[in-house]
Structure 1
Amino acid sequence: MKRTIGTTALAASLLTASIGLPGIAHAAPTEARIDLRVLVVSDGGPATDAIAAELRTAGTPYTEVDLQAADRPTIDADFLADTVDGRPRARFQAVVLPNDNPFPSESDEMAALVDYERTYAIPQVDAYTYARPEVGLNYAAGSGYAGSVDGVQAEVTAAGKAGPFGYLDGAVPFEDNSPTVGESYAYLSTPAPDADFTPYVEATAPGGSTKGSLVGEYKHDGRRELVVTFVYNQYQQQFRLLARGIVEWMTGGVHLGASRNYFAVHVDDVLAADDRWDTVLKCTPGDVDCPEGEGTPDPIRMVPDDVDHATAWQRDRDFTLDFAYNAAGSVDTREENDGADPLTDSLVAARDEFRWINHTYTHAFLGCVQDTTVVPWKCATDADGETEWMSRNGIVDEIATNRVWGETNQLPLENDELVTGEHSGLWVLPQQPEDNPNLGPALADTGIEWLASDHSRDPAQRQVGSATTVSRYPMNVFYNAGREVEQVDEYNWIYTSRAQGGSGICEDNPDTTTCLPAPLDTTTGYDDYIVPLETRIALSHVLGNDPRPHFIHQSNLAEDRIAYPVLDGVLADYAGLFADDTPVVNLRMKDIGVELRRRDQWQSAVAAGDVEAHRIGDTVTVRAPEGTPITTTVPEGTLQDGTPHGDAYAGARSAWTDAGSDALTLTLPSAAEPETVPADPDAPEEATGTSPDTRVPEAVAEPEPIGPAADPVSVGPEVGAVPSGRER
């Protein structure tokens, strides 16, 4: 199947014959212009919202019409098409509807859409609809299946792999994250007799042999519809896996915006030692969560064997970790051991195996001066009651001294990157509601352009002095745990009620944290519960076109090496889902920062209406304000000034392009001729009755977190954070 859109032979013949088009009295005999924008007609349901979210995240412009809004525009011929410079223009390259016909019976709006789609060969996505002959399928009742598909393993068909879902290996697993929550509902059915219907994704009903389509293409009477018969929200893995293909199908692989699957992991505190959780005291001796003088510190620090393991692990998985280092850890160790520090020797010998980031010299807190005589700590104040801050010179010394040590040991650094200890210097609630005013000037003094922030408390990219923040996802693998039993014990302390022996933190913060039904077994809870949950959360970020890095600590690579099962889970699950041409993209911090900055510039230009893009035949033209990078996705073989455009990914090519003051002009390959769907003159009139209601499970329609650590993946948005004290 050819996967690009444009003016079909049908539309071209209509135009050439000067037959009147919608809103056009006398069409010129010329090829139509198709604007690179999607029309999303929403009824407020989760499926259309999910597709809109995919377009928004990728940077693909769309216009949303809310059917529930009293002041919404009327979808008629003038809304859909007009002329520009005497050329017929289709305002939208694709149409997304909640179902195949969300309008009342005999609706003029649906008739206008049908006419528009036929005339300009515009594809239509039925975001979630009932299986029946009107969409090319037999009724699900009787011969098919209608019901829950929680835990079902769907498969991409041969046609799907050859078409819009070729970036997948084949398996499309449906989530089943809770035995008590209905998460997915579907209508499984086979193509109706004589219907030109091609299944792209199929599944077999639970506990039976009934097999039917979940996603397929229905061609009829000059139109093409992508028929989706399962319900989803934007966070569910099954949608995340198929979202790229839905967009590629509706745009024919020619659209603004781009989507890739990113995964980066920062390992903080390298060279230093991390304090250890005390399973008896239920706090961390030497840290601020333990009363002063309580317990005996027993720090966790990597050894040379851990370096060898990390090096071999990276090579086996073709993946690079980012090591954020504190040089004082090495200097102090040598002073205490007559110059010996085997860990540093091993790391320096293997320095080119890793990416390195300045994490300050001593891991000092760079915000307010902390008063740790109370728990939780508070900001110290002077005699006038003013907050006392780490000085500008103190911050500069922390950055510069660590940098000099790294350069002396020939670490492959990028000197404009910085991770401060505990992301300190930036605001942290409730104690420090503003940035240290000395932080920005100190960053400028030391040439820092990219500064890490904690996504759970400071997610938006922002400017701090000379630096732009790059938010990082905290993994719920604790900094103060080197052994599984410590991790599980602390996890139970945070995520169980007081009645079950926990701290009650989960009870006190129900909006961000869900209590466990019972404490985890300390011998099996890590592998059986924490690893699958953390794997799923991290993988959801990877599948969400989200480049932000995750962070753990050097303690998690030591002793029981508890980080690796989670990292292996993410990479192994990913490898089992995606084809070889769709690898994980593993960027360093500054490149992630650039990607996020470009997205922000692009989204601002799109929102302001300053981006204009269209296709005429095999030529794509994009204009954006000077200085705004342009993001595009196009088929293989597309040329820019005679050379291939962009980089290959997922069977397509995508790129950021700085066009300056000029328009970006791309020439599509000859193979990208649009597919013609001939109209059948003997076909009956299109059905204009509204589509039947479809079943939407409560968990899909009303997203909410269902597990500890604010699980965002299954049925709701990410609303939680790693509790205070879990990050160092």
Structure 2
Amino acid sequence: MKSTTRITALAAGALIAALCSPVGAAHADTATPRIDLRVLVVSDGGPATDAIAAELDTAGTPYTEIDLRQSGRQVIDAAFLADTVDGQPRAKFQAVVLPNDNPFAAGSAEMAALAAYEQAYAIPQVDAYTYARPEAGLQYPVNGGYSGSIDGVAAQVTDAGKAGAFGYLDGAVPFEDNSADVGESYAYLSTPAAGADFTPYVDAAIPGTSNRGSLVGEYKHDGRRELVVTFVYNQYQQQFRLLARGIVEWATGGVHLGADRNYFAVHVDDVFAADDRWNSDLNCTPGDVDCTDGSVEPDPIRMTPDDVDHATSWQTSKDFTLDLAYNAVGTVNEREDNNGTDLLADELVADRDAFRWINHTYTHAFLGCEQDVTVVPWKCATNADGSTKWVSQSDISDEIATNRAWGESAGLPLESDELVTGEHSGLRILPQQPDDNPNLGPALTANGVAWLGSDNSRDPEQRQVGSATTVSRYPVNVFYNAAKAAEQVDEYNWIYTSRAQGGSGICEDNPATSTCLTAPLDTATGYGDYIVPLETKTALGHVLSNDPKPHFIHQSNLAEERIAYPVLNGVIDGYDALFADNAPLVNLRMKDIGSELGKRAAWKSALASGEVTAYRVGDTVTVQAPDDVAVSATVPAGTTAGGSAFGTAYAGGLSGWAEASAGPLTLALPSSADAPSTLRDAEGGTTAPDTSKAPRTRVPAGVTESVPFTPES
């Protein structure tokens, strides 16, 4: 081995003394420290630290980032890490995230300062992606381990991981293998080094052996704790999304600002109405404004009572509730055409309490500009002076109020302040209508609408329209005009193949489209083999990203062959196979999703402006935020606020919002919550930390590695 540079025990003690006793303050090695609830992220621009930072961003957990690539960056020293406030020692960060176990030059004063800080205040360190080596508590991979691709590997949470920060997982941690031609995950699998106090939390089988190697584990040494991660990842990969919560919970001891939950809501549009069917000969949908061959009559798709029975039994089996967005004109017309009979509506109304209901306007009319359908694609009609002709405020109000009145008379359990307009119309839509209908906002206000559905693919940010706040919805790529798998595949092929292959050419005109096909799918097998797995992966990715936005499908997808269910089953069953019972899917209605998104926006704005202060002293957390901002936090079970339980149980802890109020929020943690009661002093014999720079780690496929890696020898 090459010789490594070590700090002497005396030097380590001197650094800790500097941390504990800044200039002008008495040495207070027995004082109860204040730990600020903020994470220090030291980045080298790699995907692993970026992924952890993204998790903190999404959760609303404050952090400070230092980019080692930047000239003139903040130097990490004792004064940067700690000071005193009103005579009390203060640690400015509750956790440290490094790109690897030591990204600095050998003998670095910055690494020494970090090590001493971690010793003094019992601050955990996350090694975002490091090479397996004795300095990280592991044997070199050449000693019975493995280094290479782990695409498609089935990793597992160990018993120790389940008993700790990763206890929200059921056990399996599957690594993605999306393409046989692309390397997606590189890892070092190894066993603990001789004499190391190392506990694997996530491991996988070492190829060619009967042993298992650590992928995530805790290394205790020199009075410090490190979470050692030996596989590379980015923020979008499923394996990271599964482990992201646990990484943060381990680093913070389960006490931090912000929260992470897994949400899934599904809106079913056009209930009671019928959706027109795709025509494979015309490559359009008769009845739609852009399908101009008047010789072909529309072919309507409408649910039946059997489809309702299937939906209710499916909900029961999945412990899940669908949100039905309804258009009452569908049943009114059905009864007019059938001597007052509508068996579908009778069944839905009889089972109305099994679902949640959303006003989708009476006739599903287009509520933006008046459409000129004499051209393809349609355009906005104009007045004589060239100005846009808009659907009037009174017409919009009639659509909202008439549908609401019908729903109330039928006893539907409505929330009268929720609305989804037909095609999300009235809101801006490019290229034809770059602005909202100016009559939409006043109509929403007049009808008391507080929450308005929007299409996330074209209007992703929450915004105000009159009295309403938008709630962006994810479109599931199961088409409104398809009730059979072959229809779905035929239209999918038309949209996403080239003109030479008989397709629309959209992908040629828009090469950034992510769903383009190299060849048409088989209409007999393409749905189950290609579309369902892709849509399942996309939706599950949203679920695992702490994203509460709802998804939407159409009533046609629950009719005939019921093609939506394979995707919904894929998401829910796939989730249940990965997560423990203590982390169920959170299934909210639209207004509650809107409220969650609004609170998050206000919270993140307060964090960004520096208006939030939070710290822990022993078993007490104090949070000061603006009077009009609700506080988001995650804490251990047993935590109270003002004598009452804080938040609600999720993933083994408590999380939620403390509603905005004047004055600080004080949380009383249970005595079982680990925290340093006094400062630690390394003087007198504590082994000093090893500051040898970590060797280079391999990078994901597609990123050039300039030299082959050779471990120190």
TM-score by length of 1: 0.92
Structure 2 residue 147 is matched with structure 1 residue 146? yes
Deviations 1:435-463 (A, max 9, x none): 00000000000000000000001000000
User: What is the CA–CA distance in structure 2 between the aligned matches of 1:652 and 1:700, rounded to whole Å?
Assistant: 38
Please state whether the residue corresponding to 1:698 is helix, strand or coil: coil
- Code of the aligned partner of 1:171: A
Q: Residue 466 of structure 1 corresponds to which residue in structure 2?
A: 467
Deviations 1:48-75 (A, max 9, x none): 0000000010010001111111232111
Cα deviation, residue 292, structure 1 = 4.3
Unaligned runs of 5+ in 2: 1-11, 706-713
What does 1:65-214 align with in structure 2 at a 5 Å threshold? 65-205=66-206, 209-214=210-215
SS at 1:564 equivalent: helix
Partner of 2:697: 694
- Which is further off, 23-32 or 61-70? 23-32
Whether 2:590 is the aligned partner of 1:589: answer: yes
Cα displacement (A) at 1:688: 1.9
2: CA distance, partners of 1:569 / 1:189: 34
Alpha-carbon distance, 1:16 to partner: 12
Using a 3 Å threshold, how does the CA distance of structure 1 residues 690 and 25 change in structure 2: closer, same or farther?
farther
SS of the residue 2:655 aligns to: strand
RMSD, aligned CA: 2.1
Distance in 1, Cα, partners of 2:683 & 2:477: 58
Distance 1:523 1:23 in 2: 78
Matched residues in 1 for 2:390 and 2:652: separation?
Answer: 52
Matched ranges for 1:450-489 at <5 A: 450-489=451-490
CA contact (8 A) 2:453 2:471 kept: yes
- What's the offset of the Cα at 1:678? 10
Q: Distance in 1 between matches of 2:349 and 2:703?
A: 50
1:607 alignment counterpart: 608
Instruction: Give the corresponding residue for 2:39.
Output: 38
Partners of 2:97 and 2:126 within 8 A in 1: yes
Q: Could you say which residue in structure 1 is the equivalent of 2:346?
A: 345
1:79-123 CA distance string (max 9 Å, x none): 111111110000000000011111122211111111111111100
After TM superposition, give the deviation of residue 619 of structure 1 in Å.
0.6
Task: Report SS of the residue matched to 1:672.
Answer: coil
Change (3 A) 1:559 1:158: same
Name the CA distance, whole Å, in 2 between partners of 1:178 and 1:308.
39
Q: Supply the AA of the counterpart residue of 2:646.
A: H
**Aligned equivalent of 1:721:** none
Report the CA distance shift for 1:167/1:21 in structure 2 as closer, same or farther (over 3 A). Answer: farther
* Aligned mates of 2:596, 2:140 — CA distance in 1: 46
For residues 373-412 of structure 1, the aligned pairs below 5 Å read 373-412=374-413
Alignment-mate amino acid for residue 173 of structure 1: P
Change (3 A) 1:700 1:667: farther
What is aligned with 2:649?
A: 648
Q: Tell me which residue corresponds to 2:6.
A: none
Query: What is residue 498 of structure 1 aligned with on the other side?
Result: 499
Q: Aligned partners of 2:676, 2:599: CA distance in 1, in Å?
A: 34
| 1:391 Cα deviation from its structure 2 partner | 0.3
Does the 8 Å contact 1:468/1:593 carry over to 2? yes
Displacement after TM superposition at 1:517 (Å) = 2.1
Using the alignment, how far apart are the partners of 2:392 and 2:659 within structure 1?
A: 40
Separation (CA, whole Å) in 2 of partners of 1:58 and 1:207: 40
Q: Is the 8 A contact 2:22 2:79 kept in 1?
A: no
1:302-317 equivalence runs, <5 A: 302-317=303-318
Displacement of 1:160 in angstroms is: 0.2
CA distance in 2, matches of 1:509, 1:184: 29
Equivalence for 2:5? none
Q: CA deviation at 1:652?
A: 0.2
Other structure's SS at 1:186 match: strand
| 1:225-281 per-position Cα deviation (integer Å, ceiling 9, x unaligned) | 000000001011000000000000000000000111000000000001001001111
Aligned equivalents of 1:701, 1:592: Cα separation in 2: 42
Residue 701 of structure 1: how far off its partner (Å)? 9.3
Paired-residue identity, %? 72
Structure 1 gaps of 5+ residues are 1-10, 703-728
| 2:674 aligned partner | 673
| Cα distance, 1:701–1:582 mapped onto 2, change above 3 Å | farther
Which residue does 1:705 correspond to in 2?
Answer: none
Quick one: distance in 1 between partners of 2:250 and 2:261?
17
- Contact 1:23-1:77 at 8 Å conserved across structures: no
**Equivalent AA in structure 2 for residue 589 of structure 1:** M
Say whether the 8 Å CA contact 1:233–1:701 is kept in structure 2: no
TM-score (norm 2): 0.94
Displacement of 1:699: 5.2
1:140, CA displacement in angstroms?
1.0
Q: AA paired with 1:691?
A: A
Change (3 A) 1:24 1:40: farther
Distance 2:639 2:123 in 1: 21
Per-residue CA shift, 1:667-707, capped at 9, x if unaligned?
Answer: 111111337999797676433232111111235899xxxxx
Residue identity opposite 1:533 in structure 2: L
Give the aligned partner of residue 267 of structure 2: 266
